[in-house]
Homo-oligomer: A and B are copies of this chain.
Amino acid sequence: MSQPNLDRRLEHLTTTAKEAGVKLTHQRLEIFREIVLSAEHPDAETIFRAVQKRVPTVSLDTVYRTLWKLHDLGLVTTLGPQRDRVRFDANLDPHHHYICVQCGLVRDFESSELDGLRLPEAVSQLGTIMNAHVEVRGLCSRCQQRLPTQTPNSNQQSQSVP
């Protein structure tokens, strides 16, 4: 995350919050900054633990409420690659995801070719199109080393990999 990018997103937060009559509290700033600065697409619990270091009094509940508020404001998106925790993304630029089915690692990747993909007619008849992106699933290199041989999908659990 480059400095100008961070600044741009923080400014977008400020603008959007003001327009919506939403107050910019210390905890909200820190929670948003945490998502922006992380490439991990963290879940609520992970964000909570990180923010807690700088704001020792935050509650997990505030993290949840803030995340869904940011989501409602269109400032973060969610992704649910597998069971349990929902994970959040503050990268609003067009991009795509690589997801490890073993450990839950999520990484952005860019591709102008993929950004411009043409969707078939049938799709627009289902409803409006707000966003389209590619989701790639596989075993991340770290997980390949850890578990050389194994059945297809067994023992999948998500976890944030810092």
Chain A contact residues, CB within 8 Å of chain B: 71-74, 78-83, 86, 98, 100-101, 107, 109-111, 113-114, 117-120, 122-123, 125-144, 151-154, 156
Contact = CB atoms under 8 A, between A and B. Distances in A.
B118 A139 contact: no
Contacts of A126: 98, 107, 109, 138, 140-141
B134 A129 contact: no
Contact of A123 (B109, B129, B143): B109
19 contacts: A71-B153, A71-B156, A72-B153, A73-B152, A80-B81, A80-B86, A98-B126, A110-B120, A111-B119, A113-B120, A114-B119, A125-B141, A126-B140, A127-B140, A127-B141, A130-B138, A131-B138, A132-B137, A135-B135
A132 B100 CA distance: 12
Given A72-B154, A82-B78, A120 B111 contact: yes
A115 B132 CA distance: 14
Closest 6 CB pairs of A and B: A80-B80, A127-B140, A128-B138, A74-B152, A132-B136, A129-B138
